[in-house]
Amino acid sequence: MAFAEKCNDIFDEATVEYHRFDNIDATPRNPYAEGSIERELFVKNWIDAVQWHMEDIIRDPGIDPVGALELKRRIDRSNQERTDLVERIDSYFRDKYKDVKVLPGATINTESPAWAIDRLSILALKIYHMRQEAERADATEEHRGRCASKLAVLLEQRKDLTTAINQLLDDIAAGRKYMKVYCQMKMYNDPATNPVLYAKKQG
């Protein structure tokens, strides 16, 4: 099985596992071996599923403002965890292809493999939730039809992205493309680079 298909299978598995609980505080049952890339992929989708539902909760117009602030901070922490995990997945690829001889004329891609895989994880969640809407018994036929059309687009998008990721990995393995990873360097979470945080520290 090509790598991107493996990602889709694991992301679908993790999405279903999250929805067994449908609780942002649930503890996942990760079936993959410690230290394996499969385990990292499962965690990746779990983080995305939890964040998806935190974003739903924070949009409740009746949410308690104090609770909303704590949830916003939790979303920020989740974003940082997601970024750190994507960079770990890229490190896996960098190590895997470190001995590949880069061919003359090799080109760089617009994004690293792991950031493309990040989009696959989000697509798994979009597909799951859009399918729910397309099959919702209490919705109108018009609503279900609209969602079924959107679901078809999402499935096509996943097919295209899966193909593109596999082609990218094949090109890297053959030396036709090379990896160059730039860390995200998010500034708002860092007390040394967020002016609101370091101003308070100095004050």
Whole-number Cα distances in Å, 102 to 83, 178, 180, 200: 27, 7, 12, 48
Report whether pLDDT(191) > 80. no
Question: Cβ atoms within 10 A of the Cβ of 99, count?
Answer: 6
Convert 118-169 into a string of H (helix), E (strand) and C (coil).
Answer: HHHHHHHHHHHHHHHHHCCCCCCHHHHHHHHHHHHHHHHHHHHHHHHHHHHH
Provide the pLDDT for residue 180: 83
**What span, in angstroms and rounded, lies between the C-alpha atoms of 113 and 106?**
16
Contact yes or no for 165/116 (Cβ under 8 A): yes
pLDDT, mean of residues 140-148: 98
pLDDT, mean of residues 104-121: 96
Provide the pLDDT for residue 42: 98
Residue 200: inside a domain, yes or no?
Answer: no
pTM of the model: 0.89
pLDDT, mean of residues 23-51: 97
pLDDT, mean of residues 146-160: 98
Could you list the residue range(s) of the whole structural domain that residue 55 is in? 3-194
Provide the pLDDT for residue 181: 73
pLDDT band at 189 (very low <50, low <70, confident <90, very high): low
**What span, in angstroms and rounded, lies between the C-alpha atoms of 193 and 196?**
9
Report whether pLDDT(10) > 60. yes
Residue 199: inside a domain, yes or no?
Answer: no
Provide the pLDDT for residue 99: 97
Average per-residue pLDDT for the chain: 93
Contact yes or no for 165/4 (Cβ under 8 A): yes
Residue 113: inside a domain, yes or no?
Answer: yes
pLDDT, mean of residues 112-140: 97
Burial 121-142 (b: 16+ CB within 10 A, else e): bebbbbbbbbeeebeeeeeeee
Report how many domains make up the chain. 1
Q: Choose between 3 and 183: higher pLDDT.
A: 3
Residue 202: inside a domain, yes or no?
Answer: no
Tokens of 61: 């117009």
pLDDT band at 188 (very low <50, low <70, confident <90, very high): low
Provide the pLDDT for residue 193: 66
Contact yes or no for 122/48 (Cβ under 8 A): yes
